[in-house]
Amino acid sequence: MKPHFLTLLTAAALTIAVAQTRAQAPVYLDVNQPIEQRINDAMKRMTTEEKVALLHAQSKFSSAGVKRLGIPEVWCSDGPMGIRDEVLWDEWEQAGWTSDSCIAFPSLTCLAATWNSDMAALYGKSIGEEALYRRKNVLLGPGVNICRTPINGRTFEYMSEDPFLNAQLVVPYVKNVQQNGVAACVKHFALNNFEVNRSSANVIVSDRALYEIYLPAFKAAVTEGNAWAIMGSYNLYQNQHCCHNKRLLIDILKSDWKFDGVVISDWGGCHSTDEAVANGLDLEFGTWTGGKTWGRSNSYDNYFLAKPYLDGIKSGKYTTTELDDKVSRVLRLIFRTSMSGQARWGSLCSDEHYAAARKIAGEGIVLLKNDRNILPIDASKNPKILVVGENAIKMLTLGGGSTSLKVQRELLPLDGLRNRFGAENVTFARGYVGDTTTTFDGIDTGQKLADHRSAQELTDEAVRMAKDVDFVIFVGGMNKSNGQDCEGTDRASLELPYNQNNVVSAIVKVNPNLIFVNIAGSPVTMPWLNSVPAVIQAWFIGSEAGNAIADILSGDVNPSGKLPLTFPAKLEDVGAHSVGEYVCKPSFKVVDVEYKEDILVGYRWFDTKKIKPLFPFGYGLSYTTFSYGKPSIDKATMTADGSVTVKVDVTNTGKRAGAEVVQLYIADLKSSLPRPAKELKGFKKVQLNPGETKTVEFTIDSSALSFYNDTKKQWEAEPGAFEAIIGASSADIKGKVKFELK
């Protein structure tokens, strides 16, 4: 039956009406419109009150949207290694949800130890999916502050002591988090390289060290990774708090680097309305307001960018120029994340994410010593194994500050080893008692760690049990307690805590087959090293700790990690500790902290001062062996706008497949300004089968030769002689080739 004429007419009318309605949909709501047009349209519709409300927190981790316009709130979440549990509206305490357990991925120092950008990409993708599933718009991570001192309490949260390594890893991490429509918030910008007095220390540093050491990872995150958010740090620089620091935020970040994202304060890092308005803070969180007790219904009105700012605009004290810049940035963040229009759901605690955590950990664990090739342990021989140490049984994903996590599960080293080698073959002795607390932020792991025996009793038990086993695996190191690897505190020394050194020394006397597994986020000293045949640096590796450690010790995975941090023989050998007072004593007034070692951070100091470390930057062994050919270079001279290519053959000379990280360092043999002995400017991780040879190539241009000339305020590569140095670590040099920059 043919449709009646009137039906056709009605259908046509309806179609036009719908089309017109759609055409009238406000631009800011139309996901097909360019973001900049959506921003302008939204701004036109917003009142001043609504604009100001966008710029500060409304709860512990969220800021207001514009309800009237259907613009959603912005939700942030820690942290760089996993998505924090939901907390109460205005508390750090957990909210008691049953659907917010997560996966703890390995610490970022472990990620850095992989020396593998693919692992950084996998990491960012996986954690971004967990953030998206939990409906978070901003992931408060990664942290990329340079490890200037190994006793910084937050070393475990950061990556390495080298700006090039940090820069190479932060870019894929950020890009892959943001692929999920979740903003990465790279932190802490800048110069937050210690915890004591982090809010009152005024860092003094030369422009050379600032530009050559402390800024590169942030610059890469912004200019190459297109980071959508940056977190200001607690400390001061040039006597101005970094959360509203003109030089860092306006001159460098927003002008030089053209950052179009949002500057978020660290929680409580904002201290002034005038400076926050003028110096580039866009989103204020965590300001201490006495927790809703300051005489107003909502203490968030007390925030520096809340009522004080609104009053200032109304009184004419502030123009709306800064206001509109800030609001446009926050709207850009919203239109890039929650209002991007792309339907993505993320995933939480998926098999893929567990596999990713295990793979990253397996690539980040570093084999530091393996005498007599005692490792890997052949499970097929059913060896009797004694596991010793509190870190074999204590959950370490909880605690340590803002990276503390409520995990869905954490496979402990003892359980991982029992699964792999057979529970009947693996016994346990406590060895030492460290921190038996099991709660943080209202979360309780439920573990029963109390043990009231004396240190002597614990040692005697371990020694007795060690006598009749084939191997002793000592799982020790640090934990997340104050004074160890923990935010808000720095360590007092590099020594292992809780009497571990004595226990190790006592055990190895009765059983020489001792393997030390160092579960720590930062370097430690090892006075017993000469008598212990094997050591692995296992970092804090999260939910899959037990599996990853068992994978390595059993040989299921061939270790390929390399140290991203120098392990010093003693603290005084570190640059920051050999130039006078490392940190000021705790103080509420502003105190200066001068980075006197300047550009000689990490291996730069050890190389230039010719100090032998316990284990050097870039060091790590394998269960196979590699040989290097003689490096070659394609031309003896490089022009200023040209490049050179350095090649080197690497061969797997052992009996099993493995991966080697080939490192390229550059030495400026004659410079008008002092420069480090050498600097990392390239690295490649190559997988090689037994007997296989691959040619590794590095093509570098003048940027790899440059230093920051702080009188001319620019980077420059001085003509003259240079050396390309190929190393298996910063100390294990395989070959050098000279070339000339014309």
Active site residues: 266
CA dist list (Å): 512 to 411, 463, 468, 505, 592: 28, 12, 12, 10, 48
* Residue 591 exposed, middle or buried by CB count within 10 Å (0-12, 13-18, 19+): middle
SS3 176: helix
Q: Which residue stretches of 249-379 are H helix?
A: 273-278, 307-314, 321-336, 351-364
Of 50, 78, 161, 607, the one binding ligand GLC (CB under 6 A) is: 78
CB of 641 to ligand GLC, least distance (A): 41
Nearer residue to ligand GLC within complex by CB, 154 or 394: 154
The site that binds ligand GLC (CB under 6 A) totals a number of residues, namely: 6
Query: By C-beta, is 134 or 359 nearer to ligand GLC?
Result: 134
The yes or no reply on residue 85 touching ligand GLC (CB under 6 A) is: no
**CB-wise, 78 or 485, nearer to ligand GLC?**
78
Nearer to ligand GLC, 195 or 573 (CB): 195
In the complex, least distance from residue 267 CB atom to ligand GLC, rounded to whole angstroms: 4
Tell me the Ramachandran region of residue 342: left when phi exceeds 0, alpha when psi lies from -120 to 50, beta otherwise.
beta
- Find the binder of ligand GLC among 266, 363, 441, 660 (CB under 6 A): 266
- Site for ligand GLC contains 441 (CB under 6 A): no
Considering only residues 469-498, where is the footprint of ligand GLC by CB under 6 A?
none
CB of 576 to ligand GLC, least distance (A): 20
Contact 438, 445 (CB under 8 A): yes
Asked if 682 contacts 704 with a C-beta cutoff of 8 angstroms, the reply is yes
User: Using alpha carbons only, what angle is made at residue 162 by residues 195 and 140, rounded to the nearest 5 degrees?
Assistant: 50
Query: By three-state DSSP, how is residue 402 classified?
Result: coil
Question: Which C-beta is closer to ligand GLC: that of 153 or that of 564?
Answer: 153
- Closer by beta carbon to ligand GLC, 248 or else 704: 248
Find the shortest distance in angstroms from Cβ 107 to ligand GLC: 14
Binding mask 107-146 for ligand GLC (x = CB under 6 A): ---------------------------------x------
Q: What are the residues whose beta carbons fall under 8 Å from the beta carbon of 454, sequence distance 6 or more?
A: none
The answer to whether residues 652 and 558 touch, using CB atoms and an 8 Å cutoff, is no
Site for ligand GLC in 269-288 (CB under 6 A): none
Binding map of ligand GLC across residues 377-416, x = CB under 6 A, - = no contact = -------------------------x--------------
Distance in Å, CB of 169 to ligand GLC, minimum: 18
Decide whether 78 or 668 has the Cβ nearer to ligand GLC: 78
Residue 295: Cβ within 10 Å count: 9
Let me know: does 56 contact 306? Beta carbons within 8 Å: yes
Q: Does 187 bind ligand GLC (CB under 6 A)?
A: yes
* Coil/strand/helix, residue 159: coil
- The CB-of-269 to ligand GLC minimum distance in angstroms stands at 8
DSSP 420-465: HH-GGGEEEE---------EETTEE----------HHHHHHHHHHH
Q: How far is the CB of 297 from ligand GLC (least distance, A)?
A: 25
HSE, CB side, 13 Å, CA atoms: give it for residue 107: 32
Q: Is 19 helix (H, G, I), strand (E, B) or coil?
A: helix
- Return the residue of 267, 354, 428, 603 that touches ligand GLC, per CB under 6 A: 267
Nearer to ligand GLC, 233 or 484 (CB): 233
Structure tokens at 21: 């309605």
Give whichever of 266 and 544 is closer to ligand GLC, judged by the CB atom. 266
What is the Cα–Cα distance from 409 to 330, expressed in whole angstroms?
35
DSSP 186-253: EEEETT----TTTTTEEEE--HHHIIIIISHHHHHHHHTT--SEEEE-SSEETTEEGGG-IIIIIIII
Provide the minimum distance between the beta carbon of 89 and ligand GLC in the complex, in angstroms, as a whole number: 15
What tokens does 620 get? 């790590």
**How near is the Cβ of 148 to ligand GLC at its closest, in Å?**
17
**Interface residues toward ligand GLC, by CB under 6 A:** 78, 140, 187, 266-267, 402
